Structure 1
Amino acid sequence: METTSRVGAQGAAPGTASASGADTPAARRTVDGYLRASFPWYGLDEAFTGPRWLMQVGTSADGTVQHGSIGHGDEPSIRPDRLDATGAERERFAAVVTVAASPVRRSGDGTGVLDATSVSSAAWLAGSGLLAYTWPPQLDHTLRDDWLDQQTEAAFELADDLDGPEWSTLSLPVDGVPTPFHYRESEYGWVLAGSTPTGVHLGAYGRGMSAYGLAFAVVRDITAYA
């Protein structure tokens, strides 16, 4: 599959910077990672008026920024009781993953080959990102790692089969232009993935917020998020 490595995909996990947080060294490091990227970052467009916060970037072995995520809404936590007494989501969030579009290429140190990135890369990062905030209530701590390994493998296989029956299509605005996305739902939330005219791939995942009303836009000033 033309996708980022599973090690690199861990960059989809949350960072420590928050749009409402203090100017801490950890927050500055997170912003610095985003500023090193050679591609534009995407988030929800201005119609979303809730909190926005930086998550984390993923880099290759030579330090090149390959992808990163921006959160919107409630900062999610890993906990089994994500539903309230009425069955509604306690947390409402959406994370947007931006992935640089790259062909198969030599690594910076010349010792190997880096995988190409594609829409499947964005789908994999979004799927694994959603799993990072999921913990079925019937599992205890000792079993969660096994469950996460199994679900992560399933997410990888699903990302490799975007034309399969698990995915549907959804058109959402990107910089005001209707753009096709691959979309799927599960009991844990939703995931979508597509490409933009600016040459990057987009993934997104969330819970408690409908994907059908989302729109994406280039982030004009990433430093405003930290």
Structure 2
Amino acid sequence: METTSRAVAQTPGEEGAQQAPSARGTVDGYLRAPFPWYGLDEAFTGPRWLVQVGTAADGTVEHGSVGHGDEPSVRNEYVPGGDKDARGKFAVVVTVAANPVRRSADGTGLLEATSVSSAAWLAGVGLLSFTWPGQMDHSLRDDWLEQQTETAWTLADDLDGPDWSTLSLPVDGEPTTFHHRESELGWVLAGSTRQGVHLGAYGRGMSPYGLGFAVIEDITAYARQE
């Protein structure tokens, strides 16, 4: 699959562990990105906040996420059949630089290309980072995370499969096709823009059908709202 390596993408446990205010990504990483960041458009008037960025071995920013709505935490545990809205209403937008196959920083190998599947994978594991089965002991929880993470990877590799549907959402005011799937955990979206980046999104409690996306003109505004 032409997608971000799982060695680059953070695991759900790692990403979830960084949601505490003292450890969450600062705006500095976002400002180093050589690509535009995306978030929900101006129709969304609620809180906005930074999540984190992902970097290559040489420190180049390759992807990152910004949040909207109620900031979730791992304390919002997943209970089968439970009320999703009770765990907060949020949407996180993932921006992934569109990179072709390229040489590694040390020149010894090739790095995988990024694609819409990359955005779908990062969105899938991002949703898992905020979804922990509260009625399991630690060993079973680890097994659950490993299984769900592998499922997210497999689903991202088959965007034309039966687990995905498509819907059209505005990106910079233009209708854009997104791959879309929903589960008890929440929803995931993945698509591309004309600005040379791929977009992923995930959330729960907020309907994905009414969302719109736009370039973030001032990423520091997300930091100021935290």
Is the structural similarity TM-score above 0.5? yes
Which residue type is aligned with residue 179 of structure 2?
Answer: H
* Worse overlay, 136-145 or 158-167: 136-145
Alignment-derived partner of residue 21 in structure 1: none
- The secondary structure found in structure 2 opposite 1:122 is helix
Distance 1:179 1:87 in 2: 31
Partners of 1:130 and 1:205 within 8 A in 2: yes
Shift of 1:16: 5.5
- The secondary structure found in structure 2 opposite 1:9 is coil
Indicate which of 160, 175, 184 corresponds to 2:157. 160
Alignment-derived partner of residue 104 in structure 1: 101
Alignment-derived partner of residue 7 in structure 1: 7
Alignment-derived partner of residue 87 in structure 1: 83
- The secondary structure found in structure 1 opposite 2:150 is helix
TM superposition outliers: structure 1 runs of 4+ over 2 Å: 11-18, 79-83
Whether 1:131 and 2:147 are equivalent positions in the alignment is no
Partners of 1:81 and 1:137 within 8 A in 2: yes
Indicate which of 158, 172, 185 corresponds to 2:169. 172
Alignment-derived partner of residue 33 in structure 1: 29
Distance 2:143 2:90 in 1: 26
Whether 1:75 and 2:57 are equivalent positions in the alignment is no
Partners of 1:80 and 1:136 within 8 A in 2: no
Shift of 1:146: 1.0
Shift of 1:8: 1.7
Identity, in percent, stands at: 75
Shift of 1:136: 2.4
Shift of 1:88: 4.9
Partners of 1:11 and 1:56 within 8 A in 2: no
Partners of 1:17 and 1:53 within 8 A in 2: no
User: Deviation string for 1:48-83 (max 9, x for gaps)?
Assistant: 111100011001111111000000011111136557
Shift of 1:225: 1.3
- The secondary structure found in structure 1 opposite 2:217 is coil
Partners of 2:172 and 2:214 within 8 A in 1: yes
Alignment-derived partner of residue 144 in structure 1: 141
Task: Give the total of aligned pairs.
Answer: 218
Alignment-derived partner of residue 62 in structure 1: 58
Alignment-derived partner of residue 47 in structure 1: 43
Where do residues 204-215 of structure 1 align in structure 2 (5 Å cutoff)?
204-215=201-212
User: Deviation string for 1:134-188 (max 9, x for gaps)?
Assistant: 1224322332111101100010000000000000001000000000000000010
User: 1:77/1:113 Cα in 2 relative to 1: closer, same or farther (>3 Å)?
Assistant: same
- The secondary structure found in structure 2 opposite 1:124 is helix
Which residue type is aligned with residue 64 of structure 2?
Answer: G
Partners of 1:184 and 1:190 within 8 A in 2: yes
TM-score of the superposed pair, with normalisation by structure 1: 0.90
- The secondary structure found in structure 1 opposite 2:120 is helix
Distance 1:166 1:16 in 2: 29
Which residue type is aligned with residue 163 of structure 2?
Answer: E
Aligned alpha-carbon RMSD (Å)? 2.1
